[in-house]
Every structure is written in structure tokens, then in C-alpha cells.
Chain A
């Protein structure tokens, strides 16, 4: 009896239906998102939306300029990368190459727990601890700044970066390590001249996914960045409040009249966000594929 019986076929079709369902849902979300976004352009041109410097959605002279929100998101994300990437990679190297296996086994669950903490809890911690700290130590009018957001986001992106980089580093065959050491290389030379280059694509994928996680984060940022929709300067903008795209949608969606221009503008912001994360994931994915090919 080698032919599939009807029960197996039944299970197979159920699984097929479920897996196509996710594709269908994604497709529907895209349609709704883009359809409502497009309605905005009856009132504002695409160019005005993308290059507008002011987000005044409720004033008499309504303006829906994306720039302050986009730059706010990018600034906070860039800041978070600046410290989460070196820290994450360093931790990954420590865990996979240097730490005693027992120490590594001890650390890993904590990193996973860090990944599982709800963002509102991070936000709460940021608001109560980091915001006053920043205000005092940097002597700022408010501790709710882009930098505060960056630090919180960085902490939140760390687990992603660490776990995926560590995966990439551990999958470098040990024969390469031995080959390098047998040539008289020290452990550090082996790490930075052989191991890291060999796992670079995996590490880059980790970084991209970390960025993806950061740019889509909402709740924490809403709680610690002050939410002022002004175009941040660089690098001074780090020390003042900003408003990200995600926070804007979350803050305003509840109060906006359905079908209004403002309503559609928020959808347009959502579309931009969607496109950005989509591209980032695409890049991460293609890097990951390349890296599997190389190691496998």
C-alpha cells in the first residue's frame, strides 16, 4: 500500500488551505491599505505628501507632509542600529566563540526572554527609568527624545540581532577554525579574519531583521519619544522629541473621522511603512539565501 489514502489527502488539503489563507490575508491587507491610501491623493498630490515638511492634519489649513514622520522614524532607527549592531554582534561572538558552553547556555534563555517582553513593558520602563535619567544627565528640557527611543529600540532589537548572528557564526564549520589556528593564528585573528567574514551574510541578515523590528515598533516609541511632529536636525535632533510614522498612526487613528483626508493620510503613512519593511525583509531574505548557499 504505497498510495496515499484519503485521510492523508484530506490533511494535505486542509494544510494547503491554511497556508494559502495567510497569503490571501496578506493580499487583502495590501488591497485595503493601498486603496484607502490612494484616496488621499484626491486632496494632496503624491509629491506634496512625500516631500511635505509639515504634518498638520487637523488645522484649518490641513497639511499632510510625510517628511517629519519619515525622518523621525529613520533617525530613531538609525540611532538604535548604531549601538545595537556592534553590541549584538559582540554578544553573538562572545556566546558562540568565547564563552564557556555552560555560560552560553546560561545566557541564551535570558536573551530569549528579552525578546518576549511586550513592548508596552519596555515603554513603561523607558518612561519611568530612562526618560528622567536622560533629562538629568544630559540636562535637557525633556527626557522624551529620539535618543531615548533609539536606546529602547536598540535594546529591543538586540535579541533578534544576537540570535541570528550567533546562528550564522556557529554554522561556520569548525574545520575553518582549526585551519586558521593550525597556521599559528590567535583566537582573535581567527575570529575577525575567518569567522566573521565567513558569517558576514548571516550577520547582515540579522542586522536587516533587527532594523525591520525597529522601524515597525510603535508602543515603546510612543511612550518615550515625545511625539512632536517636527523635522529633526542631525545630529542635534537626537536630543529633542520626534514622532515616528508608527506612533502617528497609533495616536491619531482613534480620533479621525472615517473617510476623511486625515484618515486616508494615515493609511498612506501605513503604506509607506509597509513598503519599507517589505523591502528590508526582502533584502534580509536574499542575503540569507546567499549565505545558506555558501555554507551548505
Chain B
């Protein structure tokens, strides 16, 4: 059963019967969905329902968890990302991730952004322009252009998060995963990042986990509702918010639980 979006022009991420266990405990149950290209997809649901776990499947960050076992199939751009010939480094280049807490490296602003391109062998002479472009795309160029050499940790929390977005963009991914990127930020920084995300969908496919219903409604085109490891409902955001098919979705969205 694929819960889904009809008449999707192009599918970026296709998930089929995904099951995931942490040791004995099953954290994701039989999840299938198709995430359209160049869209913002929001994942919502109460704490512990498996949103982050699901997100980490998409760039194989769960590989780092020792006793994590996965069944099912995930294809990104029609390639099975758990297939035998997959290079995880290459996958993570194409599928970037921005975390809940801003996590800039303890180095300069410039070096943070240049980190990815450098490890992937970018030409030294191209670095300046790659960094500038990434900072511009992440809407933080104006604030940092005159202090690229200063430590990234001297930026404010909101600036640090946009720097982390720039750092991800510099690797030129095609999909970007956001795990509650604004939950540690003030309202103004949050608004800036929301604007940025809506802007980025021109060029990227975006999946964002959020606890903020208004945020999901504001910025996403599609919404998936998770509950206890299951994907209860997935569809166009407007439809999910105005006319949910499942009682639990409605209860969650209207704040009756979770």
C-alpha cells in the first residue's frame, strides 16, 4: 500500500515497505511513500514516533548505529540506496543533512563552508567562489562576507544554522534533509530559515521534520504524519491540514494529543 500523492510529476525519493529495528525494538513499521522532486515535504508526529529515524535512513546515517537493522527499499533518483554497489560517501554528497542544533565545526566561517568541497577534491582556485555562492544561497553572505576568517562559533545561533545550511549547499546535494532545524532558534531566525527553505525548493528536494504545525503548514507542499513508527497519512499539506482522512491525524494537528 503506497500512501500517496497522485499525479506526481517526478518522484525524487521512493520508499517501499521500510522496516527498521534498533535491536529488538521496531522503530519504523512498513513505511511506503513517494516524495516528489523540487518540493518541501514535512514530517510531523509526536516525539519518539520515528521521524528522525526515518530521515536518517535517507542518507544512511543509521549505518552509524551499531544494532540498527533495516528491511525494505529506498530509492533516490531511481537508485536503491541500500544496494550493494552504493558508495555511502557519494550518497551523502547527494543527500545533505541539517541538524536540530547548529553544529558548525570549530574553525573559520570560510573553512566550514569549504570543508565539504575540500574533502571531495574541489580545485583550490574554485573554493572562493563556491563558498561565496553557498553563503549567498543560504542568505548569510551579507552578514559574513567581511569576516570569513573569524571563527564560526562567534556567530549567533540563527547565523550558525544558516552557515550549516551553506555548508551543506556547498557540496551541491540534490536532496536536503532538515531535522527540526529551527527548534533551537528564536522567531526571527526561524522565519529567515523558513523563507530560505521555501526558496531552496527551486533547486532542491527538501524533507523537513518539524514539531511546529504552523511551520509545516506554512512551508511544506506535502506532509506525512507519523505515529508510533507508522506513516499514518501522507498527502498534500493543504489536504492533510484541512481534510485529514484519519482521526489520529486530525487529533494531532488540532493539538488534542502529542
Contact surface of A with B, Cβ cutoff 8 Å: 173, 175-176, 178-186, 189, 193-194, 197-198, 294
Q: Which of B70-78, B94-102, B216-224 contacts A (4 or more CB under 8 A)?
A: B94-102
Q: If A181-B92, A182-B92 touch, does A193 touch B119 (CB 8 Å cutoff)? A: yes
- Distance (Å) between the CB of B114 and the closest chain A CB? 11
- Contact present for A183 and B92 (CB under 8 Å): yes
Q: Is B122 interfacial (CB-CB < 8 Å)?
A: no
Question: Number of contacts between A and B (CB, 8 Å)?
Answer: 63
In whole angstroms, how far apart are the Cα atoms of A173 and B103 in the complex? 9
- Contact present for B106 and A198 (CB under 8 Å): yes
| Residues of A contacting B: mostly | helix
- Residues in chain A near residue B116, CB distance under 8 A: 183-185
Q: Is B89 interfacial (CB-CB < 8 Å)?
A: yes
Q: Is B115 interfacial (CB-CB < 8 Å)?
A: yes
Chain A residue at minimum C-beta to C-beta distance from B167? A183
- Residues in chain A near residue B64, CB distance under 8 A: 178, 181
Interface centre among A178, A184, A294 (most CB of B within 10 A): A184
In whole angstroms, how far apart are the Cα atoms of A178 and B60 in the complex? 11
- Distance (Å) between the CB of A172 and the closest chain B CB? 9
Q: What is the total number of residues of chain B having a CB less than 8 Å from a CB of chain A?
A: 25
- Contact present for B105 and A176 (CB under 8 Å): yes
- Residues in chain B near residue A186, CB distance under 8 A: 89, 119
Chain B residue at minimum C-beta to C-beta distance from A175? B103
Q: Is B191 interfacial (CB-CB < 8 Å)?
A: no
- Contact present for B99 and A184 (CB under 8 Å): no
- Distance (Å) between the CB of A241 and the closest chain B CB? 46
- Contact present for B115 and A180 (CB under 8 Å): yes
- Distance (Å) between the CB of B151 and the closest chain A CB? 10
Known: A176-B103, A182-B97, A185-B89. 17 other contacts (CB 8 A): A175-B101, A178-B64, A178-B99, A179-B99, A179-B103, A182-B59, A182-B61, A182-B168, A183-B92, A183-B171, A184-B89, A184-B120, A185-B116, A185-B119, A194-B105, A198-B105, A198-B106
In whole angstroms, how far apart are the Cα atoms of A173 and B61 in the complex? 16
Chain B 100-132, CB-CB to A under 8 Å as 1, else 0, gives 010111110000000110011000000000000
- Distance (Å) between the CB of A293 and the closest chain B CB? 11
- Contact present for B105 and A179 (CB under 8 Å): yes
- Residues in chain B near residue A181, CB distance under 8 A: 61, 64, 92
- Contact present for B92 and A193 (CB under 8 Å): no
- Residues in chain A near residue B97, CB distance under 8 A: 182
Query: For chain B residues 144-176, which have a beta carbon within 8 Å of chain A?
Result: 164, 167-168, 171
Q: Is B203 interfacial (CB-CB < 8 Å)?
A: no
In whole angstroms, how far apart are the Cα atoms of A87 and B80 in the complex? 42
6 sampled A-B residue pairs with Cβ under 8 A: A175-B99, A176-B105, A181-B61, A181-B92, A183-B93, A183-B115
Q: Is B90 interfacial (CB-CB < 8 Å)?
A: yes
Interface centre among B64, B93, B116, B119 (most CB of A within 10 A): B119
